[in-house]
């Protein structure tokens, strides 16, 4: 191998940092999730007292309807978000990829810009639109479509959470799709057209299969973090909207049951390990292809 003879000088510092501040914390959570809550500081039993460790927290999460609901609901909301983002994001990424290069750069910046603004501010912007006296209801009642005395309330509902999630995660979908479509060999689709294939057929047999890696990474990049989303359900879902992220923080801050909260976190991670590994596998494959 050319270049520096070994990776040690460049890798050692970030490697050590990530071992201490990324991997070790996960292991600590795993250990704490096996303890039980006590009154005191810290509010959990000694994780080094081996005989006292057990899986009680996991058992109670899995048998408790509250958590089962939150878990199922998180996965449902995240999957719907990924699907809706794909339906909106694919045509956008497709249209961007067909623009001339100069304009593509500007469009790319336009998509990245909201990604740089705080998700808190973006979610807050949604409250302005969705609340009872919000801008959507104002517009609808100005058009005579709703009764201003009894405006329908969208905020604090499934709908509000879903709209807020799609709004927040759309750039995460568009960027990998665009990265894939922009590199795609469009002459293949042209060849299909020249040989007489109708546009939909050229798309379905050439473009769609080639953009598969972009679709899968986009879906995973939305789905995985969306499962643990905290800000959107907290602000748009109302009190105790059942998602894992909100449940976890209630357990942690209000009930002060740290062992149970860690078990919820570890369980969430366990569910997401498979999609995370799939994502890394795709990243490695496209890295190898490049």
Partner 1 sequence: MTGRGLFRRSVLAFGLAFLYAPLVLVVIYSFTASKLATVWAGFSTRWYGELIADEALLEAAWLSLRLAFISATLALALGTLAGFALARFPRFSGRTLFAGMVFAPLAMPEIVMAISLLLLFVNMGEILGWPSQRGFLTLVIAHTTFTLSYVAVIVAGRLAESDRSIEEAALDLGASPLKTFFVITLPVIAPALAAGWLLAFSLSLDDVVTSQFISAPGATPLPVVVLGSVKLGVSPKINAIGAISVVLVLLATSAAYVVQSRRGRRLRQRSGL
Contact set for partner 1, span 171-190 (CB under 8 A)? 171
Cα 83 from Cα 91, distance rounded (Å): 13
42 upstream amide cis, omega within 30 of 0: yes
Work out whether 169 is an interface residue with partner 1 (CB under 8 A).
no
* Count of residues that bind partner 1 according to CB under 8 A: 95
Cα 110 from Cα 106, distance rounded (Å): 6
**Residue 84 Cβ vs partner 1, minimum distance, rounded to whole Å:** 11
Q: Measured from the CB atom, is 195 or 273 closer to partner 1?
A: 273
**Residue 128 Cβ vs partner 1, minimum distance, rounded to whole Å:** 5
- Cα dihedral value 233, 225, 19, 289, nearest 10: -170
Mark residue 40 as left, alpha or beta (left: phi above 0; alpha: psi -120 to 50; beta: remaining). left
Contact 99, 107 (CB under 8 A): yes
Among 60, 66, 68, 91, binds partner 1 (CB under 8 A): 91
**Residue 284 Cβ vs partner 1, minimum distance, rounded to whole Å:** 8
**Residue 276 Cβ vs partner 1, minimum distance, rounded to whole Å:** 6
Work out whether 94 is an interface residue with partner 1 (CB under 8 A).
yes
- Other CB atoms within a 10 A radius of the CB of residue 81 amount to 29
Among 52, 54, 128, 255, binds partner 1 (CB under 8 A): 128
Among 138, 141, 153, 205, binds partner 1 (CB under 8 A): 138
Among 119, 157, 205, 250, binds partner 1 (CB under 8 A): 119
Pick from 201, 275, 265, 276: nearest CA to 71: 265
Give the footprint of partner 1 on residues 227-266 (CB under 8 A): 227-231, 234-235, 245, 248-249, 252, 258, 261-262, 265
**Residue 209 Cβ vs partner 1, minimum distance, rounded to whole Å:** 21
Work out whether 133 is an interface residue with partner 1 (CB under 8 A).
yes
Terminal C-alpha separation, the chain: 19
Phi, psi of 44 (to 5 degrees): -145, 160
The pair of structure tokens assigned to 206 is 């050439």
Pick from 162, 160, 181, 158: nearest CA to 170: 162
**Residue 232 Cβ vs partner 1, minimum distance, rounded to whole Å:** 11
Pattern 48-87, partner 1, x by CB under 8 A: ----------------------------------------
Among 55, 68, 87, 110, binds partner 1 (CB under 8 A): 110
Measure Cα distances from 155 to 14, 113, 160 in Å. Answer: 43, 26, 5
Q: Measured from the CB atom, is 215 or 221 closer to partner 1?
A: 221
């Amino acid at each position: 191998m050319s270049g520096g003879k070994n990776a040690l000088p460049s890798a050692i510092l970030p490697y050590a940092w990530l071992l201490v501040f990324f991997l070790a914390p996960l292991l600590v959570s795993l250990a704490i999730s096996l303890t039980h809550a006590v009154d005191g500081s810290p509010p959990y039993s000694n994780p080094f007292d081996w005989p006292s460790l057990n899986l009680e927290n996991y058992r109670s999460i899995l048998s408790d309807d509250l958590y089962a609901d939150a878990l199922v609901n998180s996965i449902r909301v995240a999957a719907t978000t990924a699907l809706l983002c794909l339906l909106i994001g694919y045509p956008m990424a497709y249209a961007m990829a067909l623009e001339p290069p100069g304009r593509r750069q500007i469009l790319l910046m336009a998509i990245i810009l909201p990604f740089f603004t705080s998700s808190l501010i973006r979610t807050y912007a949604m409250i302005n639109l969705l609340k009872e006296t919000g801008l959507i209801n104002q517009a609808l009642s100005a058009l005579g479509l709703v009764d201003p005395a009894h405006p329908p309330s969208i905020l604090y509902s499934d709908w509000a959470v879903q709209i807020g999630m799609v709004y927040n995660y759309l750039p995460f979908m568009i960027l990998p799709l665009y990265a894939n479509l922009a590199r795609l060999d469009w002459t293949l689709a042209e060849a299909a057209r020249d040989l007489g294939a109708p546009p939909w057929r050229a798309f379905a047999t050439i473009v769609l299969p080639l953009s598969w890696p972009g679709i899968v990474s986009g879906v995973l990049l939305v789905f995985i973090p969306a499962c643990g989303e905290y800000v959107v359900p907290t602000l748009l879902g109302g009190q105790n909207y059942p998602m894992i992220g909100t449940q976890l923080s209630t357990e942690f801050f209000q009930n002060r049951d740290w062992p149970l909260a860690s078990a919820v976190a570890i369980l969430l991670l366990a569910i997401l390990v498979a999609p995370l590994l799939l994502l890394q596998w795709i990243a490695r494959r496209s890295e190898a292809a490049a």
